[in-house]
Amino acid sequence: MYRTKFFDHLILLSGVFIMVGPLLVALMTSSHEAADIHRNGLSILPGGHFIETYETVLTREGGFTGKITGLRMMMNSLILGLGFAAGKILLSMLAAYALVYFRFRFATVTFWMIFTTLLLPLEVRILPSYEVMNSLHLTNTYTGLIVPLLASATGTFYFRQFFKSIPDELLEAARIDGAGPFKFFVDVIVPLSKTMMAAIFIIMFVYGWNQYLWPTLMTTDEGFFTLVRGIKQILLVWVGSNIPDYNEAFALAILAMLPPVMIVMIFQRWFIKGLTESDK
Partner 1 sequence: MTHAPSLSPTSPAPASATGFFRRFRSTPAEPASAKRVQFSSPFLPYLFLAPQMAIIFIFFYCPSVQAIRSSFYLEDPFGFGSSFVGLANYTDVLKSTEYLGIARFTAVFTALVTFFSLSIGLLLAVKADGVIRGNAAYKTLLIWVYAIAPPVAGLMGMMMFDQHIGPLVKFAGLFGWEMKVGLNYNDTAFAMIVVSVWKQIPYNFIFFLSGLQGIPVSVREAALMDCRSGFRRFRTVILPLLAPTAFFLLIINTTYALFDTFGVIDVMVKDKAANNPITLVYKVYMDGFRGNDLGGSSAQSVILMIIVFVLTIFQFRFIERRVHYN
Q: Hey, which residues between 165 and 204 contact partner 1 (CB under 8 A)?
A: 168-181, 183-184, 187-188
Q: Which of 28, 58, 79, 275 binds partner 1 (CB under 8 A)?
A: 275
Q: Which of 66, 128, 137, 241 binds partner 1 (CB under 8 A)?
A: 128
Minimum CB–partner distance for residue 101 and partner 1 (Å): 6
Three-point CA angle 64, 142, 194, nearest 5°: 135
Minimum CB–partner distance for residue 181 and partner 1 (Å): 5
Q: Looking only at residues 227 through 246 of this chain, which bind partner 1 when binding is defined by CB under 8 A?
A: 228, 231-232, 234-236, 239, 246
**CA–CA distance, 111 with 60 (Å, rounded to integer):** 49
Site string for partner 1, 59-98 (x = CB under 8 A): -------------------------------xxx-xx-xx
Minimum CB–partner distance for residue 187 and partner 1 (Å): 5
Residue closer to partner 1, measured from CB, 76 or 156: 156
249 lies in the site for partner 1, by CB under 8 A: yes
Number of chain positions touching partner 1 (CB under 8 A): 111
Phi–psi pair at 3, nearest 5 degrees: -65, -45
Q: Which of 57, 73, 89, 99 binds partner 1 (CB under 8 A)?
A: 99
Minimum CB–partner distance for residue 60 and partner 1 (Å): 19
Question: Residue 233: is it exposed, middle or buried by C-beta count within 10 angstroms (0-12/13-18/19+)?
Answer: middle
**CA–CA distance, 225 with 235 (Å, rounded to integer):** 15
Q: Which of 35, 75, 190, 213 binds partner 1 (CB under 8 A)?
A: 213
- CA atoms 130, 135, 136, 141: torsion sign: positive
Cα-atom radius of gyration of the chain, to the nearest Å?
23
Minimum CB–partner distance for residue 266 and partner 1 (Å): 10
Phi–psi pair at 266, nearest 5 degrees: -65, -45
Residues, the chain, total? 280
Site string for partner 1, 141-160 (x = CB under 8 A): ------xx-xxxx--x----
DSSP characters over 4-60? HHHHHHHHHHHHHHHHHHHHHHHHHHTTS-HHHHHHH---SS--S-HHHHHHHHHH-
Q: Which of 71, 75, 113, 190 binds partner 1 (CB under 8 A)?
A: 113
